[in-house]
Structures are given as C-alpha cells and as structure tokens.
Amino acid sequence: MTATSLKLGFIGLGIMGAPMAGHLVKAGHTLFVNTRSQVPADLLAAMRKVHQFTIMSAPTTGQVAGVVALSDPAAEDAVQAMIASYDRRRRLIVKGLNEIGLDCFEPQGAFYAFPSVQKSGMSDEEFANGLLQEEHVAVVPGNAFGVGGDGYVRCSYATATEKLEQALEKMYRFMRRHG
C-alpha cells in the first residue's frame, strides 16, 4: 500500500520493524501515517520529496566517504585488513560446517556459506526452524533463493569470530541430536 493510496492522517515516528500503515522515510526510523485524518497536501508533498531523495540517489555523505575510500592510502590498508578478517571467518565457518557434517563448499564472494543439510534428514525449512527453536541460531532456508537452494541453508559470517564459534558449537549439538 502506498502513501498516495491512503487517506493520510496522524504523522509520527516508529522504530523500523514496528507495524506501520505506510513507510515514507528510511533512515533508522520510519515516518508513518495513520488513516484517521487528512494530511495537508503541502506536507505530504514535502514528505514525498524527502522520501524520494533518500532512496533514489546516494546521499552526499556516502559520496564523500566513497571519494575518501578511493583516494586515501590509509583506506586501502583498512580494506586489506577487512578482506583478511572476512577470509579468516570464511575459512572458520566452512571448516566448522564440514566438520559437523554439513557439507559446504568455499564461497568465492559475499559473506555467506551455503551448506547442505541433507545429512540431517530434514528439509532446509525444517532444519532452519529447528535450529532456531532449539539452539537460537538463525539461518535462512535455501529454498528462499529458488529451487536450486532446496536442501541448503544460508549462514552469514558477517559477525564476530566469537559469535561464529558459538553458532558452530550450537549447530554441532543440533546435528548430534538430528544428524
């Protein structure tokens, strides 16, 4: 439902993820409207302009940061350190998943591992739901990415090494019970 299709009324701020009547601004908080009264046309036009410029182009601060990232020699050192950190975490999660019986190839891009859950005897959805309920570890069922993802789950390694180690330990316990 779009803002223009609503009879817009009360304007307020809500935390992202809270139920909203209509999203108008994406910036950590969401501006939303209630359908009880009419919003003045000039205010709605201003809100729409802010929304369009927020989502339709790169913000100035991001553009300036991009210039610095591409021209400051110190930025290259930070990039190399980040690449090395992701590489360590990638190797950790792939090795850990393979060791607990979740066959996993080494990803060549992004920061997700995509192990097979076939040895668990569960579908990807059953595995993801069970792991979340029993061990409080969230993975995404592979079928969310199309038919080719059936039987796999997506695991992000864009987090601290300690959290990955904890998640792998919990996944190990889960596989001992179900695999």
**Domains of the chain and CATH, by start:** 3-57 (no CATH), 93-178 (3.90.1150.10)
Give residue-wise pLDDT tens across range 20-46. Answer: 334 343 344 444 554 445 778 888 888
pTM above 0.75, yes or no: no
Task: Tell me the DSSP string of 3-20.
Answer: GGGS----EEEEETTS--
Chain-wide mean pLDDT for the chain? 81
Task: Return d(Cα 4, Cα 144) in angstroms, integer.
Answer: 31
- Tell me which long-range contacts 125-134 makes (C-beta under 8 A, separation of at least 24): 127/153, 128/153, 130/174, 130/178, 131/170, 131/171, 131/174, 134/174, 134/177
Distances from the Cα of 12 to the Cαs of 34, 44, 85, 140, in angstroms? 8, 13, 41, 33
Query: Which of 34-38, 50-54, 102-106 has the weakest average pLDDT?
Result: 34-38
